[in-house]
Amino acid sequence: MIYGPDASNCPIKKQVLYSGKEVIDFSDDMKLFIHYQTLTKDGTVIDDSKQHKKPLELTLGHKFKLECWEQCLKTMRLGEVAKFSIEKHLLGNYATVAKQIRDYYKNQTSPNNHHHDEGANHHHCCGFMALEQGLGYKDLDRLLREPEPLDFIFGKY
């Protein structure tokens, strides 16, 4: 992220919604426990970790598939809640990452439950196969075909 006069050209914009107090000294292998919401520009909620009643665990420095998330989280303080508006060119793999996170949460709550939207078959695919076969979630399939800028609200605990 860029601060100062060039900030308007930055592909990630931050808005603090609730100030945190404690500055964190981030390092590789540090585990963060976060709740997040993913929203389209019209305010439609795509994902919300609070519906699973368990924060997402993210370990820094392990090449998380959404580098921009790590960048955003490293700017936050303990207890802070912030909204990050991220341009679509940084979110090319968001749909596949979101699918993995959704599947993880589903498996945590019901290990025998492997169904997706409308009874789609569970399958693993990447790249062009995902475009052809889909991810098993209509909203993520649409984002895969038509990427768009998204907003993320993160809260660290």
Token pair for 78: 């303990």
Fold observed for domain 7-156: Chitinase A; domain 3 (3.10.50)
pLDDT tens-digit map of 57-74: 999 988 778 889 999 999
* Residue 153, both tokens: 């609200």
pTM above 0.85, yes or no: no
User: pLDDT tens digits, residue range 75-100?
Assistant: 999 999 999 999 999 998 899 999 99
How far apart (Å, rounded) are the C-alpha atoms in residues 59 and 39?
Answer: 23
From start to end of the chain, where are the E strands?
A: 12-18, 31-39, 45-48, 56-59, 81-86, 150-156
Domain boundaries, the chain: 7-156
- Give the distance from CA 14 to its chain's centroid: 15
Q: Are 99 and 137 in contact (CB under 8 A)?
A: yes
